[in-house]
Structure 1
Amino acid sequence: MTVRIAIAGCSGRMGRMLIEAVVNSADCQLHGALDRPGSPTLGQDASGFLGHSSGVLVTDDLHAALKGADVLIDFTQPEGTLAHLAVCRELGVKAVIGTTGFDAAQKALIGEHARHIGIMMAPNMSIGVNVVLRLLDMAARSLNEGYDIEIIEAHHRHKVDAPSGTALQMGEVVAAALGRDLKECAVYGREGVTGERDPSTIGFATVRGGDIVGDHTVLFAGTGERIEISHKSSSRVTYAQGSLRAARFLATHPAGLYDMSDVLGLPR
């Protein structure tokens, strides 16, 4: 079975990585390539940067890019992703969403779209990161007393949201394992005289700089020992390959809202 894939934000760093992954895949076909209005790439061959022609031209016409596609892969911005999903729903195209930074209302709207089309949404498409999430659940349940929990993440200078979606998901996994609500126990910044650390909190620290692809560490700091569970990305290739795996999964599954646990067959 060949999965016909459209890619949003095709001229960005992640978009180009996705195009390369699709072009080099034996069972996926590049079907559409979307970019923002006014982009200098409009009208160009989507895989031209690789030195060969795919026959797919970059467009800002959502219907033209999505019509006939099986799956859209979208790593753009929340507002753009929601606009794309509305057309996906209209045309019956499934969607893999790697975009982060959605608020509660936007997430609810995605859930509504998922009643009509298959959507796989995850803040991190890396297979390794999603295995780490399972490890964090296990660690938090075992280290549920006497350990302070801090989440440290680092990304490139161009990332616009903080903390990262992956860091927040890690926090949600840890909080759930401890029976807490992350909204109530998260601390996103410390400055000045803050007083002693509240042991029920989960702290976040954010680093932005250079071309860091994505580093995440969850620190369990106890008395006399520290446990660190880390994942470090050296290339966006892992996100692209995870996205294709998600697209293959969606191609054979009905409408619904899925995550990478479903794709990888991991217990929730």
Structure 2
Amino acid sequence: MIRIIMHGCNGKMGQVITNLLKDDENARIVAGIDPYDDGRNSYPVFSSLDSCVVKADVIIDFASPKAMDSLLEYSVKEGVPAVLCTTGLSDEQIKNIEEASKKVAILKSANMSLGINIMFKLLQAVAKILVPAGFDVELVEKHHNQKVDAPSGTALALADAIKEVLPDDYFYKYDRTQENAKRDPKEIGISVIRGGTIVGEHEVIFAGEDEVLEFKHTAYSKSIFAKGAIEAAKFLAGKPAGFYDMKDVIG
């Protein structure tokens, strides 16, 4: 039985994961971390990792960027692997994660869904062929009106996957309102929509002369991310120090 600490247990994703694990025979949450607790959970909840006295095999993190530094310190100090699902991290925090992964197993993914992670591979294969042939690349992402980071971590990860297989002079374009000029062929456009209760939608457009190829992923429920995080936790428990991602889980 894999013992899990749910970091951000009373948030929306923390509660989805809590409910999914109630009937799981191979893993269970033994403690939660959240500054606010109303007693809704069947496991003990601590206000911080420093005050947690429960031992675990892995941490699932769906908290906020401001809690990342203390999570990494705890993970390294206690030798507890961590599945990091929080987005909107700073460059410094990304570097700290990479440093921590030299001492403990860390799995980080901008999106935990199976479909999105397969999409990464497909986009790279297509970009290698279509972009040199003159196709423009545009990304459009949509999320609910409560999401604070923009673009989403998934949108940036999709863009990064494409840019990785292109020449170094390709760049991201987030806003064209201040310019009166034609589109630069080296642009990778990223557009953001926030509204209603949209769980998550990511569309990548390859627009060529007289033809357009589109890839689209739509999340209809947060459970797809929760299920991915649980599978990642099961995969990561007991792994040696290193930096892992969902491709390792899928593989």
TM-score (norm: length of structure 1): 0.89
> Superposition pairs for residues 240-255 of structure 1, below 5 Å?
240-255=226-241
Offset, 1:192: 4.6
**What are the Cα deviations for residues 167-205 of structure 1, in whole angstroms up to 9, with x where unaligned?**
000000111111336xx6100112154300001110000
1:68 is aligned to 2:55: yes
Query: What residue in structure 2 maps to residue 178 of structure 1?
Result: 166
Query: What residue in structure 2 maps to residue 188 of structure 1?
Result: 174
1:167 is aligned to 2:155: yes
Moved more, 103-112 or 147-156: 103-112
Offset, 1:107: 0.6
Residues 6 and 66, structure 1, Cα contact 8 Å, conserved in 2: no
Query: What residue in structure 2 maps to residue 50 of structure 1?
Result: none
Residues 66 and 88, structure 1, Cα contact 8 Å, conserved in 2: no
Query: What residue in structure 2 maps to residue 25 of structure 1?
Result: 24
1:116 to 97, 103, 109: 103
Q: Structure 1: which 4+ aligned runs deviate by more than 2 Å? A: 63-67
Which is bigger in relative contact order (C-alpha 8 A, separation at least 6)? 2
Q: Which runs of 5+ in 1 are unaligned?
A: 47-53
> Superposition pairs for residues 1-268 of structure 1, below 5 Å?
2-36=1-35, 39-41=36-38, 44-46=39-41, 54=42, 56-65=43-52, 67-144=54-131, 145-180=133-168, 185-265=171-251
Offset, 1:252: 3.7
**What are the Cα deviations for residues 76-95 of structure 1, in whole angstroms up to 9, with x where unaligned?**
22120221121121111110
**What are the Cα deviations for residues 194-243 of structure 1, in whole angstroms up to 9, with x where unaligned?**
30000111000000011111000000000111100110000011101100
TM-score (norm: length of structure 2): 0.95
Q: Secondary structure at 1:18's aligned position in 2?
A: helix
* One-letter amino acid of the structure 2 residue matched with residue 195 of structure 1: A
Q: Secondary structure at 1:173's aligned position in 2?
A: helix
**Change beyond 3 A, Cα 1:109–1:151:** same
CA separation in 2, counterparts of 1:40 and 1:4? 21
* One-letter amino acid of the structure 2 residue matched with residue 231 of structure 1: H
Q: Which runs of 5+ in 2 are unaligned?
A: none
Q: Secondary structure at 1:24's aligned position in 2?
A: coil
Residues 57 and 238, structure 2, Cα contact 8 Å, conserved in 1: no
Query: What residue in structure 2 maps to residue 49 of structure 1?
Result: none
CA separation in 2, counterparts of 1:66 and 1:10? 16
Q: Secondary structure at 2:159's aligned position in 1?
A: helix
* One-letter amino acid of the structure 1 residue matched with residue 84 of structure 2: I
**Change beyond 3 A, Cα 1:63–1:45:** farther
Moved more, 103-112 or 66-75: 66-75
**What are the Cα deviations for residues 112-156 of structure 1, in whole angstroms up to 9, with x where unaligned?**
111111110000000110001111111101112211100000001
Residues 64 and 86, structure 2, Cα contact 8 Å, conserved in 1: yes
Percentage identity across aligned positions?
38
Offset, 1:14: 0.7
Aligned length: 250
